Structure 1
Amino acid sequence: MTRSFFRWAVPAFIALILSGCSGAGYVAQSLKGHAGILAARQSASRLIADPSTPEALRSRMEAASALRQFASDELDLPDNESYRSYVDIGRDYVTIAVYAAPEFSLTPRVWCFPVFGCVPYRGYFSRDSAAKTVRELQQQGLDVYVTGITAYSTLGWSADPLLSTMFAQDRTYLASLVFHELAHQRVYINDDTAFNEAFAVAVEMTGVRKWLNAAGDAAGLARYEAGLKRNAEFVALVSKTKGELAGIYAGSGTAEKKRAEKAAAIERLRTRYRRMRDENWGGYGGYDNWVEGPVNNAKLAATSVYNDLVPDFLRLFDLCAGDYPRFYAAVARLGRLSGDDRRDALGSAQGCG
C-alpha cells in the first residue's frame, strides 16, 4: 500500500479534551473516545506471556515491543509507557480528521486550543460529530476534506497504546507510526503543525532506514526506498497543481471563471498522475483512491502540512551527522524562534547548532 499523506497525522486530541471553548458536545465526544481507549488497554508484555493469546496477536506484540525498545535505545526517543500496551478498536481508523479551506485559497482553516495552540484540522472520535461539522463548514462555502486517522498522540500526557489500526500493513508501517508518534513527544512547537509534522516524518524516515539496516533487511529497505521515491514524485505532482491554482486564485477573473479553471487544473493533475503511474511506476496504483476521489483546496492544502518542510529537516539531520540527540537539540532551538524566523533558520541552516 502507498505511504498515505495522513496516516501519520497526529492531532493532539488531548487538547480537545482540555479545551472548554470548543463546545460541550465536542469536548464530550473527545473525552469519551479517548477515555474508552485508555480503559481498554492491555499490557503488551502480558499478552506475549499469556499462553491463551492467539499466536498472530502474540507475534504482533513481540514485533511492536522490539520496535518500541529500538526507538528508545537507537533513536533516543522517550522511554516511557507509550506504545507498550494494546487496544483492538474494532474499526479501520481511530479518529476522523476534518480539514477546510476557502473555495479560492490553499490556506487551511485553523482551530485553536489552550495549551497546544492552533492546528489546521479538527479531530473526532464520533462519526456523527464529524459529519455535523462537515455540513456546517460546507454551508459556509468552504472546501472540506475528511480522512480517517490510524494513530494519534497525546504528546506524553497519557500512555498512548498501540492500536489495531497500526497493524493494518507490514512491520515497516508499524515502525513508521511508532517512531513518528514518539517524535512528537520529543519536540512539539505550539501553533506550527507543518514544523511538527515534518520533523516527525524526518525522524520516522531516518529511523525506519536505521531499523531496516540494523535488521539486515536489504529487501525491505529497497521496498521502503522505492515507496519514498514514489511519494516524493507524487508530492511534486501535487505541488505543481497547487502552484497553478495559486496563480488562478490570485488572478482577476470572475468567480465563475476561477471555478472553471480550478476544475481544469484538478483534471490536469489526474491526467499527469495516470501518465506517471503507467509510464514510470509500472502501473502501481497506490495513489489511485486519493486522485480519483474528490480533490479540493482542503485536500491539497493538507498535503503541505506533512511534506513541504521534510527536505529541510533531513538536511539538518545530515548536518548533525545522524546524531539524534544533537538533531533534537537543534530542532528545539529552532522551535524557540518566532514562526517566520523559524522557517528561515531551518531553510538556511549551515550547521547543527
Structure 2
Amino acid sequence: MQSPLAPARLAALILTLLTLAGCASNVSGPGAVRYYWQSLRGHVQLMQAAEPIDQWVARDDISPALRERLQLAQRARAFAVAELGLPDNASYRRYADLKRPAAVWNVVAAPPYELKLHTWCFPITGCIGYRGYFSEADAQAEAAQLAAQGLEVEVYGVPAYSTLGYMNWAGGDPLLNTFIVWPEGDFVRLLFHELAHQVVYAEGDTLFNESFATAVERIGIAQWLATQASEPARAAAATSEARRSAFRALTRATRARLSAIYEQKQAGAQSESPLLAMKAGAMEAFRADYAALRARWLAPHDGAPPLATTAQVAGYDRWVAKANNASFAAQAAYDELVPAFEALHAREGGDWPRFYDAVRQLARQPQAQRQEALRALLPAPH
C-alpha cells in the first residue's frame, strides 16, 4: 500500500478537493463541513489504496484474471493516447481494491413535473446535477432530505469518477475493483469516458460534459474493437451495445412522452389530477414496454442463444423498478447530445485533435449558445 501523503502534499490535496467539491453557494453551515470532510477522507483513502499497475502485475498473490485485466488496462491506456489523443498522464496507471461495489454513490433529484435535475453549485465544476458521497448511507440521508422537500430522488452507485486531471500530481485517478471485472468493451469504454473529462470540461454544463465524454467513449470503443479486440470480445460488445441501444430508445421515447405531459402543466392547460393520471400511465407503459423488451432479450431466437442472461439484465431491472423523473433526467445528460458530438467528430474528418479543438471552442461559448450550436448538428428525426 502506498505510504501516507506527506503534510505538504496533503495540504495541497485538501485545497484541490475543496476546490473540486466546492464552497457550494447553495450549501452552507455544518452540513457543508461534513460534506467536505467525507469528500476529503474518502478520496484520500482511495488514493492511498492505489498501487502502480506494474507492481500489481508482478505480485504472485493475485488471480490470473486480475493480472490479465490489468495488462489489458495498460494496452487500452496506451491506445487512448496514441489513437484517440487522450491525455498521457498519471491517471489509470494505478489500481486500488476498495472492498466495496461502488467508488461513490450519487444523489440526483428532480421536481415531480419536470425532467430537470436539481443542482448543487461549486466553483470549478459549476452547478452540476448530482452530489457524490463515499458512503451509501450518507447518500441515502441526503436523498431523504430532498424527498421531504417534494422532489423525486434516486441514489445509484458510480463505478468511477473523474477529478478532471486536477489530481494527476498525486497519482491521478486509479483503476478500481468496482469496474475491473466488466466485459472488455464496457471496461475499455469507461476508461475512454473518464479520460475525456480531462480534455474538455465546461463549467456548470452536465449535459455538454457527459454527452461529450459519451461520444468519445462510443467512437473510441468502436476503434478499439475493430483493431485490438478478439472476435469473442467483439461479439460480446456487439450484443451489449444492442441491449444498450434498445434501452436508450425506450427511455428516450418515455422522456418525450413525459415532457409532453409536463408541458401541459407549465402551460396551465391541465390541473394536477389529470396530469398525475397521465404521468402514471406513461410510467406504466414504460414498464410494460421494458418487460416485453426484456422477454425478447432472454428468449432464444431461431436456434441462437438469448441476447442476455438474467444477470446481464439485472442492472436494467433495478433501474426500471426505481425509475422516476430524476432517473430520466440524469440519463438524458449522458445521451441527449451524443449524436451531435458524433456529427462534429465526422465533420472534422475523424481527426481527434481537430475534434477536441472544436469542442473546446464550444466550451468557451455561453451555455445556451453552445447547446444551440450542438442541437443544430443533431440528425433529423426519422
TM-score by length of 1: 0.89
Counterpart of 2:108?
A: 99
Is residue 202–residue 209 contact of structure 2 (8 Å, CA) maintained in 1? yes
Identify if the C-alpha distance between structure 1 residues 292 and 177 changes in structure 2 by more than 3 Å, giving closer, same or farther.
Answer: closer
Look up the match of 1:72.
81
When residues 35 and 141 of structure 1 are mapped into structure 2, their CA distance, relative to the original with a 3 A threshold, is: same
Do 1:110 and 1:119's aligned partners in 2 also have CA atoms closer than 8 Å?
Answer: yes
1:271 corresponds, among 281, 285, 288, to: 288
Q: 1:211 aligns with which of 216, 224, 230?
A: 224
Q: Which residue of 2 aligns with 1:330?
A: 358
Match status 1:36 vs 2:64: no
Matched residues in 2 for 1:18 and 1:102: separation?
24
Aligned: 1:180 with 2:193: yes
Superposed CA offset, 1:120-162 (max 9, x none): 1111112232122111101101000111000001011111111
> Is 1:227 aligned to residue 240 of structure 2?
yes
Match of 2:115, as an amino acid? L
Instruction: Report if aligned partners of 1:95, 1:126 keep a CA contact under 8 Å in 2.
Output: yes
Distance across 2 between alignment mates of 1:148 and 1:14: 22
Per-residue deviation, residues 23-68 of structure 1 (Å, max 9, x unmatched):
1011011111001111111111122234454433322221111111
Residues 270 and 291 in structure 1, CA contact (< 8 A), matched pair in contact too = no
Identify if the C-alpha distance between structure 1 residues 218 and 347 changes in structure 2 by more than 3 Å, giving closer, same or farther.
farther
Contact 1:29 1:125 survives alignment (8 Å): yes
Which residue in the other structure is 2:273 paired with?
A: 256
Aligned equivalents of 2:198, 2:150: Cα separation in 1: 36
- What SS does the aligned partner of 1:118 have? strand
The Cα of 1:274 is off from its aligned counterpart by: 2.1
Unpaired runs of 5+ residues, structure 1, are 1-11
- In structure 2, relative to structure 1, the CA distance for the partners of 1:183 and 1:336 (3 Å cut) is same
Aligned residues: 339
Q: Which is worse superposed, 279-288 or 183-192?
A: 279-288
| Structure 1 position 15, deviation (Å) | 5.0
Q: TM-score normalized by structure 2? A: 0.83
The answer on whether the counterparts of 1:16 and 1:27 sit within 8 Å (CA) in structure 2 is no
Q: Secondary structure at the match of 1:168?
A: coil
Structure 2 residue 334 is matched with structure 1 residue 306: yes
Per the TM alignment, residue 349 of structure 1 is displaced from its structure 2 partner at its CA by 4.7
Q: Does 1:125 align with 2:134?
A: yes
> Residue 165 of structure 2: which of 149, 156, 160 is its match?
156
The 1-side partners of 2:298 and 2:346 are apart by 29
| Fraction of identical pairs, as percent | 38
Give ranges in structure 2 of 5+ residues lacking alignment.
1-15, 300-305
* Matches of 1:182 and 1:14, distance apart in 2: 21
Letter in 1 for 2:324: N
When residues 95 and 197 of structure 1 are mapped into structure 2, their CA distance, relative to the original with a 3 A threshold, is same
1:14, 1:289 → 2: CA distance? 36
Q: How far apart, in 2, do the equivalents of 1:14 and 1:59 lie?
A: 36
How many Å separate the matches in 2 of 1:13 and 1:207?
Answer: 29
CA deviation after TM superposition for structure 1 residue 218, in Å:
3.9
**225-234 or 198-207, which deviates more:** 225-234
Q: Note closer, same or farther for the CA distance 1:333–1:306 as it changes in structure 2 (3 Å cut).
A: same
Q: In terms of mean alpha carbon deviation, does 220-229 or 289-298 score higher?
A: 220-229
Q: Distance in 2 between matches of 1:266 and 1:149?
A: 25
Cα deviation, 1:208-241, whole Å, max 9, x if unaligned, reads 1111111253443343234333323322221222
> Structure 1 residue 19 and structure 2 residue 23: aligned?
yes
Say which SS state the counterpart of residue 108 (structure 1) adopts: coil
The 1-side partners of 2:41 and 2:319 are apart by: 34
> Residue in 2 aligned with 1:236?
249
